[in-house]
Amino acid sequence: MKSFLPALLALAFVACKPNPQENQESSMTPSEEAMETGKDPHSYAKADAQVKHLNWDANISFENKVIEALAEWEIETQTGAENIFFDIYDLEIDSVLVDGEKTAYALSSFDEHLGQGLRIPISESAKKVSIYYRTGDDARALQWLDAEQTADKGHPFLFTQSQAILARSWVPTQDSPGVRFTYEAKVKVPSDMLALMSASNPMEKSADGVYSFEMPQAIPSYLLALSVGNINFEAISDRTGVYAEPSLLEASAYEFADLEKMVQAAEELYGPYAWGRYDLIVLPPSFPFGGMENPRLTFATPTILAGDRSLVSLVAHELAHSWSGNLVTNATWDDFWLNEGFTVYFEHRIMEAVYGREYSEMLANLTRAGLQEAAADMLKEMPNDTKLKLDLEGRNPDDGVTSIPYDKGYFFLRLMEETVGRERFDEFLTNYFQGHKFQVMTTEEFLVYLKANLLSEEEYASVRVDEWIYETGIPDNLPEVESDRFAVVDEALNGFLMSGELVAEDISAAWTTHEWLHFINSIPDTVSAEQLAKLDAAYKFTASNNSEISAAWFQPTIAAAYEAVYPKVESFLISVGRRKFLTPTYKALLNADQGEMAKDIYKKARPNYHAVSRETMDNLLGWEA
Ligand code: BES
Ligand code: ZN
């Protein structure tokens, strides 16, 4: 079939400096090749010439908002290799050397999601490829923040977000989760700033702004990370600690005081932590995610600084990725549930170990309710994205980031745990992580492993494994989650809805954030603005400093046009760039016929958002950038 495709559809590589050739050549696009070989459709890299080690030498210019760097790659080739392919996105390549010799290279045409393939001719004995380059204005992984966008307002800030395929916008790399490499780096920043990476990290500022990093464990490029700012460090234990801007450091150290306990709980569950130190950095509020599992240094949103440690399950989640994802890695973004579903499962287990079953079951209950709501919505619009095994070819892998890989994945694993019992399941998981560490996993390989090492034929059938993985929607053997504490909340809310009576003080005084979240999430669509005002007067939801409470509260209040919440909605959307909060809040405005308000707010907020959040909100709001 392939060979009959018109030449126009084939990818054209155009030869570049230093010896531009006139003739264009064609080869298959990553999508076409994926159809033939099952390889990662989101990378131009090929198996016959792969990177093994990166030596990155970079200068970070806040003045020009540019990273200027040399990426020196040690490579390994197979017999007959004639080219090595890299992924790039809006990088300006200055020159390319192979084993010290300046070499001509070629670039493919630009694809909106994939960027460009960089083809460098090599011989099969080639050992080293050096690429001198600088980042472009559209470097989608990077967010350059002005001083006003930080907590302390005194210094600019830079952070990266490489997952899923954005590493290529700041390093020319083989940007597939299936390609691992070790790295070292030398990074030069302004002398009053600290630089941190997903590697061995400094604990204090250097005099000259030069920092050296080493990452001796092999990682895929979506785990490459860099943060630069006026950042200080505080230790929590010998191997854990927190980085934050000075004004947030004390609050951060308080919030994450249980870091060491979490690492110990995780190790007791599924084996040794493989990465040396485990630290966390609290980023400025525009960070588009809750957290990102960059090895050795989790990146986290400041919106989990609730002051009462109530939102630390996010830390358990990112920590869990040190096994699920960072050790055993999804082979392609279609297998994303192998990263996130396992991680949500592991997260709940860490929370149970550290805070007790009652607590973790409240979390599981919230997860279950969220999953059912999301799946019902998705079944109407994009039913195929409710399968665990995704098909993201030709699409932005970001489209796969929904509650399906996370929460359907979680409940699939929980169902298996309930089917075989915890003892067998834990032994299975421990062996799975230890047996595949620093390797990739496909959904299909996992199923083979599952049959060989856990489920009998009867168990496989009773779980309905194939239905969970390959069919749409949520199978009706979705595990139940009981929570006595939520039952009390249900009763109290029903009482209010029936008679207007508020929850008895002695009952609500003992409620945690999660009971309040369940309370707010359970408010029905039929509630009136007057009823919401009464709840607000009693429980001060609009004034809450807990980001999860705020985002949950925006739902019923926007729907019922409870106007007192609007100023808070606006200030929240302008100051916070975390996509998980932005999407439902803007959607709520649109659904309530408040499209004008949504766009007015977005106009002010958009400059503060990271490219990842901007892309999603542009689409949602029909924004012409
Ligand atoms: N690895 C993800 C974030 C991510 C996924 C970034 C895909 C880009 C593409 C991270 O571990 C994550 O899941 N974060 C969640 C945390 C939550 C589930 C506790 C988030 O940001 O909300
Ligand atoms: Zn995750």
pLDDT tens-digit profile of 202-240? 999 999 999 999 999 999 999 999 999 999 999 999 999
610 touches ligand 1 (CB under 6 Å): no
- Per-residue pLDDT, averaged over 119-142, amounts to 98
Ligand with the closest atom to the CA of 398: 1
Map out the domains of the chain as residue ranges: 5-230, 323-482, 523-621
**pLDDT digits 0-9 by tens, 545-580:** 999 999 999 999 999 999 999 999 999 999 999 999
Distance of alpha carbon 449 from alpha carbon 439, whole angstroms: 14
Q: How far is the CA of 219 from the centre of ligand 2 (A)?
A: 16
295 touches ligand 1 (CB under 6 Å): no
Distance of alpha carbon 176 from alpha carbon 183, whole angstroms: 16
Name the closest-CA residue to atom 17, ligand 1.
314
Q: 273, 278, 406, 609: which one is catalytic? A: 406
Q: How far is the CA of 282 from the centre of ligand 1 (A)?
A: 15
pLDDT at 186: 99
CA nearest 408: which of 478, 320, 319, 351?
478
How far from 9 is each of 3, 31, 32, 397, 615, CA to CA, in Å? 11, 11, 10, 22, 26
pTM above 0.75, yes or no: yes
- Per-residue pLDDT, averaged over 389-416, amounts to 98
Asked if 367 contacts 344 with a C-beta cutoff of 8 angstroms, the reply is: yes
164 touches ligand 1 (CB under 6 Å): yes
- Per-residue pLDDT, averaged over 404-412, amounts to 98
Asked if 245 contacts 215 with a C-beta cutoff of 8 angstroms, the reply is: no
Name the closest-CA residue to atom 10, ligand 1.
292
The secondary element (H helix, E strand) that includes residue 430 is helix 422-435
Q: 33, 184, 245, 318: which one is catalytic? A: 318
- Per-residue pLDDT, averaged over 531-536, amounts to 98
SS3 of residue 142 by DSSP: strand
pLDDT at 38: 63
- CATH superfamily entry for domain 323-482: Neutral Protease Domain 2 (1.10.390.10)
**One-letter-per-residue 3-state SS of 9-32:** HCEEEEECCCCCCCCCEEECCHHH
591 Cβ neighbours under 8 A, 6+ residues apart: 559
**pLDDT digits 0-9 by tens, 256-291:** 999 999 999 999 999 999 999 999 999 999 999 999
Distance of alpha carbon 144 from alpha carbon 499, whole angstroms: 52
pLDDT at 3: 36
Q: How far is the CA of 542 from the centre of ligand 1 (A)?
A: 26
Name the closest-CA residue to atom 6, ligand 1.
163
Asked if 351 contacts 358 with a C-beta cutoff of 8 angstroms, the reply is: no
For domain 5-230, is the CATH number 2.60.40.1730?
yes
397 touches ligand 1 (CB under 6 Å): no
pLDDT at 39: 83
Is residue 37 over pLDDT 80? no
587 Cβ neighbours under 8 A, 6+ residues apart: 620
SS3 of residue 482 by DSSP: coil
Active site residue 427: no
Long-range contacts (CB closer than 8 Å, 24 or more residues apart) made by 27-36: 28/2, 29/108, 29/111, 30/114, 30/117, 31/393, 31/394, 32/2, 32/5, 34/393, 35/2, 35/393, 36/2
pLDDT at 462: 98
Assign 35 a pLDDT band (cuts: 50, 70, 90).
low
Q: How far is the CA of 289 from the centre of ligand 2 (A)?
A: 10
321 touches ligand 1 (CB under 6 Å): yes
What mean pLDDT, rounded, does the chain reach?
A: 95
Q: How far is the CA of 558 from the centre of ligand 2 (A)?
A: 29
289 touches ligand 1 (CB under 6 Å): yes
Counting residues of the chain whose pLDDT is more than 70, the rounded percentage is 95
Ligand with the closest atom to the CA of 163: 1
**pLDDT digits 0-9 by tens, 291-309:** 999 999 999 999 999 999 9
pLDDT at 19: 41
Q: What are phi and psi of 563, to 5 degrees?
A: -65, -25
Is residue 383 over pLDDT 90? yes
Return the best residue to mutate from 282, 294, 317, 330 for the ligand 1 pocket (most ligand atoms within 8 A of CB).
Answer: 317
Q: What are phi and psi of 174, to 5 degrees?
A: -90, 90
Ligand 1 closest atom vs CA 580: 22
pLDDT at 528: 98
44-77 b/e (C-beta count within 10 Å ≥ 16 → b):
bbbebbbbebbbbbbbbbbeebbbbbbbbbebeb
* CATH ID of 523-621, from 1.10.8.60, 3.40.50.1000, 1.25.40.320, 1.20.58.220: 1.25.40.320
SS3 of residue 317 by DSSP: helix
**pLDDT digits 0-9 by tens, 90-108:** 999 999 999 999 999 999 9
Is residue 15 over pLDDT 70? no
Return the best residue to mutate from 159, 283, 292 for the ligand 1 pocket (most ligand atoms within 8 A of CB).
Answer: 292
Query: Would you list the DSSP string of 321-343?
Result: TTTBTTTEEESSGGGHHHHHHHH
How many of the other CB atoms lie within 10 Å of CB of 525? 8
Distance of alpha carbon 90 from alpha carbon 625, whole angstroms: 18
Query: Would you list the DSSP string of 146-159?
Result: -GGGSSSSSS-EEE
CA count, 13 A, side-chain hemisphere, 475: 21
Active site residue 184: no
156 touches ligand 1 (CB under 6 Å): no
Task: Tell me, rounded to whole angstroms, the distance of Cα 519 from its chain centroid.
Answer: 28
pLDDT at 12: 58
pLDDT at 508: 92
Task: Tell me, rounded to whole angstroms, the distance of Cα 360 from its chain centroid.
Answer: 22
Ligand 1 closest atom vs CA 401: 7
378 touches ligand 1 (CB under 6 Å): no
